[in-house]
Structure 1
């Protein structure tokens, strides 16, 4: 099925707020402490088109807490609201959690990252810097480039999620370098992604 991209939707932050409240209640019920629940990816950036999927990071202190958070999202929700863990989903440094209510609109992906995981924190640095960069009006040129490449892939009929993510790498590199990243920094981030086109793996929120 071809990748679906939606025009900017002002309701995306509202959906995130509702989902974050739900996630925090699951974690609290299981007694799992967390540092923050963040909206990342294109749906967190006004004026940017995106796949209709809310990307969320749950940041915790350490790996032991990450394991508890993973289990909480599997066992605390009801039978139609639970999450399934797909390991790291092909991107090192996280637990990738897929919401199992496939009728929900928009869909959501949750990534559990711990502060003691250097790989996960590199990814989180990238998510944060990209969000900050593309929200700034002085970077509207990059926002337009990033938006345009998505619609070009829609026109091409791209159906593979891995290919969709990796074809954006060139623009993502420009964005991160504007935020002070070096080429080596970006290379290290890209090396975390071990997914191959055609594999059924997790999403990349970039």
Structure 2
């Protein structure tokens, strides 16, 4: 374990701008019915990520709609990986690329790699980043609350029927509903996952 991993300090300042490798992409969005195979699909990627990163991957969690049984989803698996130092790209990006993922996003506090098929998105955050807890709070709440699960699915169905310039615009359009769901989740269970 190096000094950064032991003390939790960053090696350098983080990036300050969004780097979208490959530029804006237009993608057709659609939802599919829940698939019990999504859990095994995650297990395969969790093992692949852990082999690639070893102890650098502090947490590997299945997030997003495919992690919620009974929820329709885009057929894209979302994975959360937390690392000791987000600025130390060399500790995790190289390993993930060697494992077959492709770097897509480098932005303050967040990196994203994905499969070449664009069907698995691996979100890398620094351990302790509140966004990591946000992902888990949303996931855990949707697993338990049928009304919010239905609201979220209805919102997604409405949004995928629209024309989007890129996936980020679609994701941004869900923000208001996601924020409301997370607020309800935290009011019922005020501690992070």
- The TM tier, using the shorter chain, reads 0.7 to 0.9
Name the residue aligned to 1:131: 139
Name the residue aligned to 1:145: 151
Name the residue aligned to 2:22: none
CA RMSD of aligned residues (A): 2.1
Name the residue aligned to 1:112: 124
Return the offset for 1:24: 1.1
1:70 and 1:112 in contact (8 A); partners too:
no
Distance (Å, rounded) in 2 between the aligned partners of 1:52 and 1:177? 27
Return the offset for 1:158: 4.1
**1:75-104 CA-partner distances (Å, limit 9, x unpaired):** 3x3xxxx2222333x6x411111222x2x8
Name the residue aligned to 2:14: none
Name the residue aligned to 1:168: 174
The number of residues matched between the two structures is: 161
**1:167-196 CA-partner distances (Å, limit 9, x unpaired):** 211210111111227xxxxxxxxxxxxxxx
Are positions 1:93 and 2:99 aligned together?
no
Name the residue aligned to 2:183: 177
Structure 1 unaligned segments of length 5 or more: list them. 182-206
SS of the residue corresponding to residue 19 of structure 1 reads: helix
2:111 and 2:125 in contact (8 A); partners too:
yes
Using the size of structure 2 for normalisation, the TM-score is 0.75
Structure 2 unaligned segments of length 5 or more: list them. 1-26, 188-193
Runs of 4+ off more than 4 Å = none
